[in-house]
Structure 1
Amino acid sequence: MIAELAIAPGKLAEKISAHLELGIGNKKVCCKSLEKCVRGMMPNIDELNKSISAYTKYVAEKQRHDANVYNMTQKRELENEQRRQRGEPLMSFDDIKRLKGPQLQTKSGIEIDKEVESFLLSADTESTATPSRHQRAAI
């Protein structure tokens, strides 16, 4: 096979790049094929752009949330230090820990809790993996 590639490198290159031809001469079929491929990719690119913008928004909100939690923790530590010096009971960090962080938007644009999303994914996986009654009867 390597010998064949060494003998006829032009034919291999033609086969590999056949879908990239621009339709010069009698290769108009390839042009239609390339155009069809590009048109087929357009919806995927639009979805990718939406996902990228949603992720960028999530990262910015996550950084803002993390900075807010850090600042609140620092203030609580200072306040607890002052309370300790006065002999008062310390304040808990539970309210800071319970703050909900930002959520990444899903494909449909609806924010879904991670637990619900994992449940939906597992249910979808189960329905795909488990054959239906009709399929089992046929087996």
Structure 2
Amino acid sequence: MITRTLLPLALVATALTACSALEKVTPAAAPPPSAPVPAPVTGESDAERADEVAPEPEAGGRLGTTIVSLGDPGRGGAWLETPLVDAAAKGRVVHAGESVEVDLIPIPGEVGAGSRMSLAAFQALGASITGLPEVEVFRN
């Protein structure tokens, strides 16, 4: 009878000892990420520094590349909403050797934030509307 009582108690004690041993070998949580280092004070505004980093593209040249998703499919025409322009303009989009003329429409966001393209432009380029194709953007 004593053996029946002692055996479960011994098993529980062994299990608790194993748990405390696991706590000792469990890796500690990763340290918090370091805070961003502030930019040095130079007397320049953010806009002036941005101009140095990303010069304004030529009026009728290549604006860059962007990843596009499908824009509003109910809106007709060939257009591209993109942060690559700061004013509406006529342009051209190139993908996989195909090109289509589009209306370039500015949207807020960083240059690398991605763009939205019309269904008509996707179809003209032969691009998959379920993918996220990368396109080259040109201003006329």
Smaller-chain TM-score bracket:
under 0.3
Q: 1 or 2, which has the higher helix percentage?
A: 1
When the two structures are superposed, what TM-score results if normalisation uses the length of structure 2? Answer: 0.25
Q: Which has the higher contact order (CA 8 A, sep 6+)?
A: 2
Q: 1 or 2, which has the higher strand percentage?
A: 2
